[in-house]
Structure 1
């Protein structure tokens, strides 16, 4: 069993919780609260900006030109391709994409980005790979699961979103990240592998937390306004 196979096995309960999250089930059913979708797009736009920065940090730690090319291509993929599912969500809520950009990160998204930046700055390339991998891997599995369950046609409101994440481009990104992480793990110490495992599992947990944050429209205003007014 490869290192990433071991990680995926350990993260199985988290992956399954993501699959059963009401936001993901809503995508499958074609019915997600529009406020939740708006909150998701605002946060994910900023999250993907940070994801590109993390790929840039990974480039700075590469010694192999093939790795540099890989991370550079992934920046291009996020920048120019991953806007398509965002546009699909914006069509669903009837709000132009440009109006949902530049908002502060909600707490869970802020924590997720800082978690990945910690491993990017403090850890080695293996830790960066481990922290980045759950994002494309969970989305790939969501896309594949929904294609099997729903088999959407073009009339499905989230047809573009589902087919994008079930596409070979997302599969190739996940496979390549896994292969690089498996290769890195072969020469890593047990301590280094523990750090990589920690980075991966926490990113999986924060993937679930991102869906939860979006569905509940989480904000920094954690004290209910009614309680403040009555005090």
Structure 2
């Protein structure tokens, strides 16, 4: 039966390119340029706003009270907690809230977030979750992968706090719950429908890799 792992198997090369991108390798080694990380943080703030819209769409796409509550909890977590934490984290990197509110959205950011929203608008709740999966699940997998590598540098790594956030028990539990949700909803999916979903997952994965590259290149 299809599962989340089946989605990865469908696009193994793209998944590897995303999860082992040069950006995250440099981050794990502690050698990523400060300006690259700052550029990433700025664009990630704008991404979070679109991510919140996606979970708002998930509320609308839900068909029962359990799914509505689940999507609403994710929406509230981003709007009421994560965005504020991101603003405070940006301040530590010399990025003011005023600057965040004046940012120009990078092309890679627009491409990914609008694709994510379009997938959800045209499809159902499962389509939306599949489009979101490379972000939420991917970040959890990436952070854990980094910490298993021989080149990983934890001592005096300026990006250790970023890694700690995504390897935390709280985030990893959320990742596992999302995988279980996807597995449950993929269980009875027919092959043709699975291929449609796998293409969404592959496209979102490629766009995530482009987001890392945007950080490295500092592109707008």
Tell me the TM-score normalised to structure 1 length: 0.83
Structure-1 separation of matches of 2:138 and 2:21: 12
Structure 2 segments unaligned to the other structure (5+ residues): none
Residue 5 of structure 2: aligned partner? 5
By how many angstroms is 1:112 displaced?
0.5
Query: Aligned partners of 2:87 and 2:209: how far apart in 1?
Result: 19
Which residue of structure 2 aligns with residue 24 of structure 1? 24
**1:99 Cα shift?**
2.1
Matches within 5 A, 1:20-169: 20-79=20-79, 80-81=81-82, 84=85, 87-88=88-89, 90-91=91-92, 93-149=93-149, 150=152, 152=154, 155-169=156-170
RMSD: 2.2
Higher gyration radius (CA): 1
Deviation sequence 1:181-228 (CA, Å, 0-9, x none):
222223334333222111111111111110001111112xxxxxxxxx
CA contact (8 A) 1:42 1:101 kept: no
Residue deviations 1:109-139, cap 9 Å, x none?
1111111111111101110110011101111
1:217 and 2:197 are equivalent in the alignment:
no
Contact 1:41 1:100 in 2 (8 A): no
- Segment of structure 1 superposing worse, 200-209 or 28-37: 28-37
Name the stretch that deviates more: 52-61 or 176-185: 176-185
Q: CA deviation at 1:98?
A: 4.3
Structure 1 gap ranges (5+) = 220-231
Contact 2:4 2:183 in 1 (8 A): yes
> 2: CA distance between counterparts of 1:56 and 1:191?
28
Distance of 1:217 and 1:56 partners within structure 2: 29
Aligned length: 217
Cα distance, 1:12–1:214 mapped onto 2, change above 3 Å: same
- CA distance in structure 2 between the partners assigned to 1:151 and 1:82 by the alignment: 28
CA distance 1:209–1:17, shift in 2 (3 Å): same
State the TM-score, normalizing by the size of structure 2. 0.87
